[in-house]
């Protein structure tokens, strides 16, 4: 049986930086965008060669950013075609693109559908125009509704809408107004996160009128209540779907510790318990891949022909040794303890919890032999419960998930 792989493609460009944003994103001109997509194509071709004997099949592709819809749709279609050409992509793979209402015009959405993208994630954040302005977003609610309507017209039948709570100047009523109007559209998926003011963002140095903690908690609880009443089930702390078939397969791979390959600037990967991330500096990233092309000379050489330079022979044959590409950093082979910790604190984000059987299969240890004490403690507090073959956080446990999860860190 083939192993499963998910591919994340980072598109780091945005028209303008939002005031709360700490993602790797920036504005750039057409020359930079062009050279970035050239480099990205080469990175994908190199990885495909590394993976070709590994029997992986791609179950999801996710174009994230930045704002993938900021660039010409032809770039996105080209990258997707390359991935389909170079990897074994499952016929029914989930292929998502993130879109910003300010740049996702009807023609673009149509082009995505034609290219084979079958899931759209729209960053609405709020349907209150004042709140959107304060966030530094380029769109308003009218543009959002237009994008949603165009997406349906273009044939998207699997749409996620991102919304945010705890925004500056946001009242409970205003937030609930956004939640209700979003549910009326019946998107298949809703992600509801609360704003975290990160260091290094303009928001961090501003005197913001943020909702107090009590209001913040109420927003969180009401989200769950309203979305449940409207038929959405919560399958992860902040994610809701209209049915199991609409749960985001790509994100579940992260929470269930599946193999994922991140391509593009700053993208993170984890394959067979080796973790790494790509360079975050676009000049270095493009430069490193440009050099590879110069020494290899052709795509045949990229695929590892005998005429390669020594450098490229190493690149092509050192399968799953990403450091050989020269674009990867922070490479780490995860210890058994790290793998078990991640299995617990990522898996417990899912409302179904972690599989006790899977833990045994992966680590050849009983879950209670490793975590007996902490499991007992939280079961007694009614924060954790065993449900069939799964161990999961209770409703109350999900409310204080960070505290519970932190207890699953093992001492080395
Ligand atoms: S659109 Fe998204 S990635 Fe771009 S600046 Fe705004 S929050 Fe950041």
Q: Ligand 1, residues 21, 68, 124, 200: which to mutate, most atoms within 8 A of Cβ?
A: 21
* The pair of three-digit structure tokens given for residue 280, joined into one six-digit string: 């975050």
pLDDT, average across residues 348-357: 97
Q: What is the mean pLDDT of the segment spanning 323-339?
A: 87
Q: In what order do the strands lie in the sheet with 390-393?
A: 354-355, 390-393, 384-387
* Distance from C-alpha of 83 to C-alpha of 347, rounded to nearest angstrom: 28
Closest residue by Cα to atom 3, ligand 1, is 66
Q: What is the pLDDT of residue 303?
A: 38
The predicted pLDDT at position 162 comes to 98
Given a contact cutoff of 8 angstroms between Cβ atoms, the answer to whether 147 and 161 are in contact is: no
Nearest CA to ligand 1 atom 7: 21
Cα 22 to middle of ligand 1, angstroms: 8
Give the Cβ contact number of residue 398 at 10 Å.
Answer: 19
Asked if pLDDT for residue 15 goes beyond 90, the answer is yes
**Fold topology of 3-255:** TIM Barrel (3.20.20)
Name the residue of 23, 121, 131 to mutate for ligand 1: max ligand atoms within 8 A of Cβ.
23
Alpha-carbon distance 71 to 34, whole Å?
10
Residue 18 Cβ inside 6 Å of ligand 1? The answer reads yes
CA distance 348 to 256: 9
Residue 81 has pLDDT above 50, yes or no: yes
Q: Please, which pLDDT band fits residue 55 given cuts at 50, 70 and 90?
A: confident
Which percentage of the chain shows pLDDT scores above 90? 84
Q: Which two tokens stand for residue 251?
A: 């994100």
State in Å: Cα 129 to ligand 1 middle.
17
Distance CA 159, CA 190 (A): 8
Convert the chain into a string of H (helix), E (strand) and C (coil).
CCEEEEEEEEECECCCCCCCCCCCCECCCHHHHHHHHHHHHHHHHHHHHHHCCCCEEEEEEEEEECCHHHCCHHHHHHHHHHHHHHCCEEEEEEEEEEECCCCCCHHHHHHHHHHCCCEEEEEEECCCHHHHHHHCCCCCHHHHHHHHHHHHHHCCCCEEEEEEECCCCCCHHHHHHHHHHHHHCCCCEEEEEECCCCCCCHHHHCCCCCCCHHHHHHHHHHHHHHHHHCCCEEEECCEEECCHHHCCHHHHHHHCCCEEEEECCCCEEEECCEEEEECCCHHHHHHHHHHHHHHHCCHHHHCCCCCCCHHHHHHHHCCCCHHHHCCEEEEEECCHHHHHHHHHHHHCCECCCEEHHHHHHHHCCCHHHHHHHHHHHHHHCCCEEEECCEEEECHHHHHCHHHHHHCCCCCC
pLDDT grade for 58, boundaries at 50, 70 and 90: very high
Residue 329 to residues 2, 23, 302, Cα–Cα distance (Å): 28, 18, 21
Residue 324 predicted with pLDDT over 80: no
Ligand 1 atom nearest the C-alpha of 16 is 5
Stated pTM of the model: 0.92
Task: Place 52 in a pLDDT band, splitting at 50, 70 and 90.
Answer: confident
67 lines ligand 1 (CB under 6 A): yes
Give the C-alpha separation, 40 to 352, whole Å: 36
Q: Is 13 in the pocket of ligand 1 (CB under 6 A)?
A: no
Within 8 A by CB and 6+ apart from 356, the residues are 367, 386, 389, 390, 391
Rg (CA), the chain: 22
Per-residue pLDDT tens over the stretch 100-149: 998 989 999 999 999 999 999 999 999 999 999 999 999 999 999 999 99
ω into 66 cis (within 30 of 0) = yes
Over pLDDT 70: what percentage of the chain? 91
Q: Mean pLDDT, to the nearest integer, of 343-358?
A: 97
Residue with tokens 């860190």: 409
pLDDT at position 2: 83
Which protein residue has the closest C-alpha to ligand 1 atom 5? Answer: 17
Lowest mean pLDDT among 29-38, 302-311, 331-340: 302-311
pLDDT score at 290:
83
Burial category of 129 from C-beta neighbours within 10 Å (exposed 0-12, middle 13-18, buried 19 and up):
middle
Burial class (CB in 10 A: 0-12, 13-18, 19+), 241: buried
The separation between CA 184 and the C-alpha centre of its own chain, rounded to angstroms, equals 25
pLDDT band of 322, cuts 50, 70, 90: low
Is the CB of residue 65 below 6 angstroms from any atom belonging to ligand 1? yes
265 has pLDDT over 80: yes
Q: Which tens digit of pLDDT belongs to each residue from 204-234?
A: 999 999 999 999 999 999 999 999 999 999 9
pLDDT number for residue 54: 66
Q: Which residue among 10, 66, 195, 202 has the greatest number of ligand 1 atoms within 8 angstroms of its CB, and so is best to mutate?
A: 66
What is the pLDDT of the chain when averaged over all its residues? 91
Domains in the chain: boundaries? 3-255, 354-406
Q: Whose CA is nearest to atom 6 of ligand 1?
A: 18
pLDDT in tens, 139-177: 999 999 999 999 999 999 999 999 999 999 999 999 999
Whole-angstrom Cα distance, residue 206 to residue 323? 40
Q: How far is the CA of 112 from the centre of ligand 1 (A)?
A: 20
pLDDT value of position 363: 96
The two three-digit tokens of residue 86, written as one number? 């170079």
Q: Is 276 in the pocket of ligand 1 (CB under 6 A)?
A: no
Least confident stretch, 53-57, 112-116, 241-245: 53-57
Task: Give the residue, out of 10, 14, 24, 196, with the most ligand 1 atoms within 8 A of its beta carbon, to mutate for a pocket test.
Answer: 14
Higher-pLDDT residue of 299, 388: 388
């Amino acid at each position: 049986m083939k192993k499963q792989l998910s591919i994340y493609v980072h598109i780091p460009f945005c028209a303008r930086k939002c005031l709360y944003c700490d993602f790797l994103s920036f504005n750039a001109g057409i020359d930079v965008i062009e050279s970035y997509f050239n480099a990205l194509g080469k990175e994908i071709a190199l990885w495909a060669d590394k993976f070709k004997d590994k029997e992986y099949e791609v179950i999801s592709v996710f174009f994230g950013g930045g704002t993938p819809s900021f660039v010409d749709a032809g770039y996105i279609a080209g990258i997707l075609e390359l991935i389909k050409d170079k990897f074994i992509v499952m016929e029914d793979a989930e292929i998502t693109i993130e879109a910003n209402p300010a740049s996702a015009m009807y023609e673009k959405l149509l082009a995505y559908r034609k290219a084979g993208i079958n899931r759209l994630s729209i960053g609405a954040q709020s349907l209150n125009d004042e709140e959107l302005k304060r966030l530094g977003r380029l769109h308003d609610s009218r543009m959002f509704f237009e994008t949603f309507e165009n997406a349906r017209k273009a044939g998207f039948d699997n749409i996620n809408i991102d919304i945010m709570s705890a925004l500056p100047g946001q009242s409970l009523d205003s937030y609930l107004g956004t939640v209700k109007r979003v549910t009326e559209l019946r998107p298949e998926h809703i992600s509801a996160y609360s704003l975290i003011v990160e260091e290094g963002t303009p928001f961090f140095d501003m005197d913001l009128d943020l909702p107090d903690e009590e209001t913040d908690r109420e927003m969180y609880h009401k989200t769950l209540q309203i979305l449940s009443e409207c038929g959405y089930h919560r399958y992860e702390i902040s994610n809701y779907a209209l049915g199991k078939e609409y749960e985001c397969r790509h994100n579940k791979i992260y929470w269930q510790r599946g193999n994922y390959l991140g391509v593009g600037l700053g993208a993170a990967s984890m394959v067979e318990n080796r973790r790494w991330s790509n360079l975050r500096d676009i000049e270095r990233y493009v430069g490193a891949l440009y050099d590879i092309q110069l020494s290899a000379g052709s795509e045949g050489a990229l695929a590892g022909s005998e005429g390669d330079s020594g450098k490229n022979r190493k690149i092509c044959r050192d399968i799953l040794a990403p450091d050989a590409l020269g674009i990867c950093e922070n490479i780490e082979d995860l210890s058994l303890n790290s793998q078990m910790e991640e299995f617990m604190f990522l898996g417990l984000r899912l409302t179904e919890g972690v599989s006790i059987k899977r833990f045994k299969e992966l680590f050849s240890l009983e879950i209670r032999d490793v975590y007996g004490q902490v499991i007992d403690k939280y079961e007694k507090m009614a924060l954790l419960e065993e449900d069939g073959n799964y161990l999961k956080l209770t409703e109350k446990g999900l409310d204080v998930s960070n505290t519970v999860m932190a207890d699953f860190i093992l001492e080395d």
